[in-house]
């Protein structure tokens, strides 16, 4: 037999994909093709067996997703019952005049044995079953499935964020995160499918009532008119057959509805239904004892049936006594054990939660921006920002940990660096921010605000006004871009703070793959890691990338034997990186438009720095800041780089003095300008007007 199956190419793995299509085709064929009574008996028995199997599988299911195929099974069993109803209706109406056995032994047995051959009793029993199925079980299960689907969908963004937070924190791997995301999605799809599938069962109950009415009316009409049967005989034959047919279909339907109700009312994921009921219903001896007392008292009331009340009361009393004795034994065994060591209530190192290097907190309305299931692309943009930052700055920054914060405004967000808020703003999901770069010619209707990253005037507009805003000279960006741009700007501004000791070690390890000898000669033989970190941070604070680590390390190796001062070493490194710094500010232009100090002011500044400490009088410092600000504004109006050229001995001190008020200003020393570049003075800072 196996050889024949193999020759025909019908091995089990190949038959599995064909199983469901074949079953559906056979079910539909039952509605069209006439079936013999023997086959009807087999199919009705099979329908009852399938219903019992589904119910038992549901009882032993630990969590709903373990039986994820239930909605499809619910549809197939409903379709099979309706097909059997159609097939049996055909047989009842065609052969019902021959007697109650015309539609097979199963229908006859249900018509005679279950309802005692009395069609009035059978009709009442059928109606009661339909009411129980339709009004009680199916309606309740459908409502639970509907509410569960709604709550599951509402909770999806929070669950996705929790998974992403665990992944970013390193608590789980990519495979676990992917599996948990799949479970969250499948859970939402399951309850949504159950919400819809419950409508099949309700429709099946209504169809059962209609089929019963049609069978009774049609059978009586056919029996009396077509076969000249007396009314009593026709009623006995056709009504009993119709009721038997209805009961054969409604009992499996009731079983399947019970299974659906069980699976959607599950709470907890550790035990099946039987274990939950046993552990929770019979876990309180006092409840059983009180129940036993009430039953025994009712059994002794005159006129009451004494036997059942006394028997059940005695059973509850015995069970309660047994549970109480079992609990006492457990308590004694626990008391006999040595007492556990007293719990340490003192604080421990485990109570300390590390502060995230870089974190993003969002209000609940911005959760879709970081939820990939809702087409949120902020996570992808942040990954691109980190990659671009690594290429520009020369090191890989820490991961951006994202979490929701209900204390924020619904559309609010804030960015934290080492637990300290360094930036915050608002972004409206589904709308666009039209930013006025200073040249916009069209006034827009919307919510006026400012760009969080640069402080430019802006307006939140609907998507329909996007094209109009772009034509009017506005820069239009979506909500994700607003947050991503703000994060990028803050990362650039705080790049020095992002370079911690761990990042320096990772940077050295990465560079050591090709330049290990240079690192061995420098760190820590000539220069401590702390000093190297300070030099790199000094460069980053002034916007100088550290991608050319080879030049930096070679320069430090050359001068570290003579000095360990980070400021002086930074100045030496800047001179070595002069060509790169100049190109970063001016591009490939041969002529460099720069601002310089008036000779008199420069001489005054040099005198202030002659004692080794750069000390300016408050009035002179204010005047200097004001003059530089005016020069910077003039330089920006001309569209030229805001670069101030200063003597080597003043560059570092001036950078510290002017950095706070003019973050866009770059101060270069004379020695940092390559010999092949020409200098063109655009402004004399401090020159008499």
pLDDT in tens, 245-271: 777 777 787 777 777 777 777 655 556
Provide mean pLDDT across the span 601-616.
79
Residue 439's contacts (CB-CB under 8 Å, 6 or more residues apart) are: 473
Question: Do residues 463 and 603 share a domain?
Answer: no
pLDDT reported for residue 283? 67
**Sole residue written with tokens 């000093």:** 531
Provide mean pLDDT across the span 630-653.
89
CATH code (residue 506): 1.10.8.540
Give yes or no for residue 6 having a pLDDT over 60: no
pLDDT reported for residue 314? 81
pTM of the model: 0.52
Of these ranges, 237-241, 288-292, 523-527, 553-557, the one predicted with the greatest mean pLDDT is 553-557
Give yes or no for residue 680 having a pLDDT over 70: yes
Residue 80 confidence class, pLDDT cut points 50, 70, 90: confident
How far is Cα 242 from Cα 213, in angstroms, rounded to an integer? 8
Provide mean pLDDT across the span 44-57.
82
Give yes or no for residue 284 having a pLDDT over 60: yes
Question: Do residues 129 and 244 share a domain?
Answer: yes
Residue 424 confidence class, pLDDT cut points 50, 70, 90: very high
For 420, the domain range is: 363-495
Condensed to tens digits (0 to 9), the pLDDT of residues 336-357 reads 555 555 555 567 777 677 888 9
How far is Cα 40 from Cα 76, in angstroms, rounded to an integer? 18
pLDDT reported for residue 270? 57
Question: Do residues 165 and 208 share a domain?
Answer: yes
C-alpha to C-alpha distances, 156 to 151, 189, 264, 306, nearest whole angstrom: 9, 11, 18, 56
Neighbours of 8 (CB within 10 A): 9
Question: Do residues 567 and 471 share a domain?
Answer: no
Question: Do residues 166 and 259 share a domain?
Answer: yes
Residue 57 lies in a domain: yes
Percent of the chain with pLDDT over 90: 24
Provide mean pLDDT across the span 599-616.
80
Neighbours of 589 (CB within 10 A): 14
Of these ranges, 9-18, 362-371, 420-429, 621-630, the one predicted with the greatest mean pLDDT is 420-429
pLDDT reported for residue 513? 81
Residue 350 lies in a domain: no
Provide mean pLDDT across the span 525-548.
91
Q: Are 450 and 348 in contact (CB under 8 A)?
A: no
Mean pLDDT of the chain: 80
Residue 512 lies in a domain: yes
Condensed to tens digits (0 to 9), the pLDDT of residues 157-216 reads 666 776 766 666 556 777 787 887 788 777 777 777 777 766 776 777 777 777 777 777
pLDDT reported for residue 10? 47
Question: Do residues 459 and 521 share a domain?
Answer: no
Give yes or no for residue 115 having a pLDDT over 70: no
Of these ranges, 314-318, 324-328, 447-451, the one predicted with the greatest mean pLDDT is 447-451
How far is Cα 151 from Cα 138, in angstroms, rounded to an integer? 20
CATH code (residue 381): 3.40.30.60
Considering 257, 277, 297, which residue would you say is the last residue of a domain? 277
For the chain, the domain total comes to: 6
Residue 4 confidence class, pLDDT cut points 50, 70, 90: very low
Q: Which of 96-100, 127-131, 395-399, 680-684 is least confident?
A: 96-100
pLDDT reported for residue 199? 72
Question: Do residues 247 and 161 share a domain?
Answer: yes
List beta partners, residue 597: 685
pLDDT reported for residue 53? 85
Question: Do residues 196 and 74 share a domain?
Answer: yes
Question: Do residues 5 and 64 share a domain?
Answer: no
pLDDT reported for residue 8? 41
Residue 356 lies in a domain: no
Residue 343 lies in a domain: no
Written as six digits, the tokens of 394 are: 């020369």
Question: Do residues 315 and 384 share a domain?
Answer: no
Give the residue, 502 or 205, on which the prediction is more confident. 502
Residue 346 lies in a domain: no
Of these ranges, 126-130, 306-310, 424-428, the one predicted with the greatest mean pLDDT is 424-428
Residue 341 lies in a domain: no
Residue 440's contacts (CB-CB under 8 Å, 6 or more residues apart) are: 434, 472, 473, 474
Q: Which of 52-66, 112-126, 292-306 is least confident?
A: 112-126
Question: Do residues 251 and 288 share a domain?
Answer: no
Condensed to tens digits (0 to 9), the pLDDT of residues 377-416 reads 888 889 989 999 999 999 999 999 999 888 899 999 999 9
Residue 475 lies in a domain: yes
Question: Do residues 423 and 569 share a domain?
Answer: no
First to last CA, the chain: 109
CATH code (residue 611): 3.40.50.12790
HSE-CB at 672 with a 13 A cutoff on CA atoms is 29
pLDDT reported for residue 269? 53
C-alpha to C-alpha distances, 501 to 34, 179, 486, 530, 531, nearest whole angstrom: 82, 34, 25, 8, 11
């Amino acid at each position: 037999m196996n050889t024949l199956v193999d020759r025909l190419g019908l091995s089990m793995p190949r038959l599995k994909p064909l199983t469901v299509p074949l079953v559906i085709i056979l079910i539909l064929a039952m509605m069209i093709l006439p079936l013999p009574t023997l086959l009807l008996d087999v199919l009705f028995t099979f329908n009852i067996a399938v219903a019992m199997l589904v119910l038992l599988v549901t009882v032993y299911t630990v969590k709903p997703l373990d039986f994820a195929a239930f909605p499809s099974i619910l549809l197939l069993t409903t379709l099979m019952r309706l097909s059997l109803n159609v097939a049996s209706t055909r047989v009842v109406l065609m052969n019902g005049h021959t007697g109650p056995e015309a539609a097979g032994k199963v229908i006859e047995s249900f018509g005679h044995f279950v309802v005692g051959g009395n069609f009035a009793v059978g009709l009442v029993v059928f109606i009661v079953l339909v009411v129980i199925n339709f009004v009680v079980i199916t309606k309740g299960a459908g409502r639970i499935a509907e509410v569960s689907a709604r709550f599951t969908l509402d909770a999806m963004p929070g669950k996705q964020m929790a998974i992403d937070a665990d992944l970013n924190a390193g608590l789980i791997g990519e495979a676990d995160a992917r599996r948990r995301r799949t479970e969250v999605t499948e859970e939402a799809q399951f309850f949504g499918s159950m919400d819809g599938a419950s409508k099949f069962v309700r429709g099946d109950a209504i169809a059962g009532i209609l089929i019963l009415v049609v069978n009774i009316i049609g059978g009586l009409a056919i029996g009396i008119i077509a076969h000249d049967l007396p009314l009593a005989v026709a009623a006995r034959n056709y009504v009993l057959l119709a009721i038997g047919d209805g009961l054969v279909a409604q009992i499996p339907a009731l079983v399947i509805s019970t299974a659906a109700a069980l699976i959607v009312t599950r709470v907890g994921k550790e035990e099946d239904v039987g274990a939950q009921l046993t552990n929770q219903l019979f876990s309180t001896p006092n409840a059983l004892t009180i129940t036993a007392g009430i039953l025994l008292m009712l059994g002794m009331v005159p006129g009451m049936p004494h036997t059942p009340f006394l028997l059940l009361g005695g059973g509850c009393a015995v069970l309660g006594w047994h549970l109480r004795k079992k609990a006492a034994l457990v308590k004694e065994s626990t008391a006999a054990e040595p007492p556990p060591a007293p719990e340490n209530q003192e604080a421990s190192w485990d109570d300390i939660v590390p502060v995230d290097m870089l974190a993003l907190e969002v209000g609940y309305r911005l959760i879709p921006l970081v939820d990939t299931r809702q087409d949120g692309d902020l996570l992808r943009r942040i990954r691109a920002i980190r990659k671009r930052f690594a290429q520009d700055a020369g090191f890989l920054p820490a991961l951006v940990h994202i979490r929701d914060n209900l204390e924020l405004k619904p559309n609010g967000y804030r960015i934290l660096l080492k637990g300290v808020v360094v930036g915050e703003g608002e972004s409206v999901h589904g709308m666009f921010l039209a930013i006025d770069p200073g040249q916009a010619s069209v006034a827009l209707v919307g919510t006026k605000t400012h760009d969080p990253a640069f402080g430019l005037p802006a307006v939140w507009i609907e998507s329909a006004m996007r094209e109009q805003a772009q034509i009017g000279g506005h820069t239009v960006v979506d909500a994700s871009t607003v947050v991503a741009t703000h994060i990028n700007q803050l990362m650039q501004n705080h790049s020095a703070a992002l370079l911690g000791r761990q990042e320096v070690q990772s940077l050295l390890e990465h560079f050591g793959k090709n330049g290990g000898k240079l690192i061995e000669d420098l760190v820590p033989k000539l220069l401590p890691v702390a000093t190297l970190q300070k030099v790199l941070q000094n460069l980053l604070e002034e916007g100088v990338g550290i991608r050319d680590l080879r030049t930096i390390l070679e320069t430090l190796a050359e001068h570290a034997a003579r000095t360990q001062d980070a400021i002086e070493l930074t100045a030496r490194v800047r001179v070595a990186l002069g060509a790169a710094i100049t190109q970063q500010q001016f591009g490939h232009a041969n002529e460099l438009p720069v601002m310089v100090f008036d000779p008199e002011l420069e001489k005054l500044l040099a005198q202030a720095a002659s004692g080794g400490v750069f000390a300016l009088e408050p009035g002179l410092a204010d005047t200097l800041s004001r003059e530089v600000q005016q020069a910077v504004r003039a330089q920006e109006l001309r569209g030229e780089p805001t670069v101030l050229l200063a003597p080597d001995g003043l560059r570092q001190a001036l950078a510290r003095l002017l950095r706070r008020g003019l973050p866009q200003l770059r101060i270069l020393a004379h020695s940092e300008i390559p010999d092949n570049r020409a200098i063109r003075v655009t402004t004399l800072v401090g020159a008499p007007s």
